Amino acid sequence: MRSENQTTTQPDEPIESATTGYAVPALDKGLDILEVLAEEPGGLSLTELARTLQRNRSEIFRMVDCLKRRGYIKVHPSTEKMTLSLRLFELAHKTSVTRRLLSESLPVMKQLARKVGQSCHLAVCSGAEMLVVAMANSDRSMEFAVREGTKVGLLTSSSGRIYLAFQPEEERVRLQRLLPGPVTAKARAAAVDWTGLRSAGFESVPSDFIRGVINMSCPVRDIQGHAIACLTVPYLEWQGGQSVSSIDDTLAELIAVAKQISECVLAG
């Protein structure tokens, strides 16, 4: 006989059968909120969010409040628009792939910056933007550098265009739909020679915003050849007497380092 206080230990179910068909409404609701906000870089009010999710405000209020308290959602003080914070990005940094990407990138990025006399930075896609996750300075007393945490546009930056160029067609189209100003974004996208960028393997053009800076960007690729990040050198043109690598030499070094990082990440 087994007493009432005794319990029977059941064998663990295989994960496949244990997760098939079980509804978890609260979790589904929370994930729906995060996914919708990820596609709205301008943010949504509570009313707009409820309308998009086809739910009542009261249905999502507690979940939104929980996500705000946990730091996943931030609210603009004047517009009360809700956007995602970098909390999910911080969690992603703890994954083995991201840790390996950063650990393999930083040492060679520092070598590259010292060798060419220019800063460099690594950016990954975050929603409808590219987010700088690592940067390295040269040994020079003056340089142009992009700080970690900076966000740049997918169509208005070399890293963004290269990232899009090295995505499958359906993913590139999906990301372009997330861009603000769909008419402008569509026009910009139509003007980009995606095939040419993929064929070249890099972009080297004057900065979209800063005179005297040539942005050079190359993809860090996964096993399928798709970009998982972009390595960029904002090449600052100096007038005579400055001991920095030429544009051509810097680009050659950048291409080699991006390839090296790709190979190291894959080997890991």
Q: Walk me through the domains of the chain, giving residue ranges and CATH numbers.
A: 15-85 (1.10.10.10), 91-267 (3.30.450.40)
Q: Look at the pTM and tell me if it is higher than 0.75.
A: no
Answer whether 29's CB lies under 8 Å from 40's CB: no
The CA distances from residue 181 to 176, 177, 209, in Å, are: 10, 9, 19
Q: What is the pLDDT along the chain (268 residues), one digit of tens a residue?
A: 444 444 444 444 444 444 456 788 889 899 999 999 988 878 999 999 999 999 999 989 999 999 999 888 988 888 889 998 877 766 665 556 677 788 889 999 999 999 999 999 999 998 788 999 999 999 888 889 999 989 999 999 999 999 999 999 988 988 888 887 766 777 778 889 999 999 999 999 999 888 889 999 999 998 889 999 999 999 998 776 566 789 999 999 999 999 999 998 777 6
Beta-ladder partners of 218: 231
3-state secondary structure of 104: helix
Distance CA 256, CA 70 (A): 41
Short-list 149, 153, 120, CA closest to 132: 149
Residue 45 CA: distances (Å) to CA of 13, 28, 81, 86? 41, 20, 4, 19
pLDDT tens string 186-234? 777 888 999 999 999 999 999 988 888 999 999 999 888 999 999 999 9
Q: How far apart are CA 148 and CA 10, in angstroms?
A: 49
Specify whether the CB–CB gap between 159 and 217 falls below 8 A: yes
Dihedral sign of CA atoms 148, 156, 225, 199 in order? negative
Task: Tell me the three state secondary structure of residue 107.
Answer: helix
Q: What is the rounded distance in angstroms from the CA atom of residue 268 to the CA atom of residue 252?
A: 25
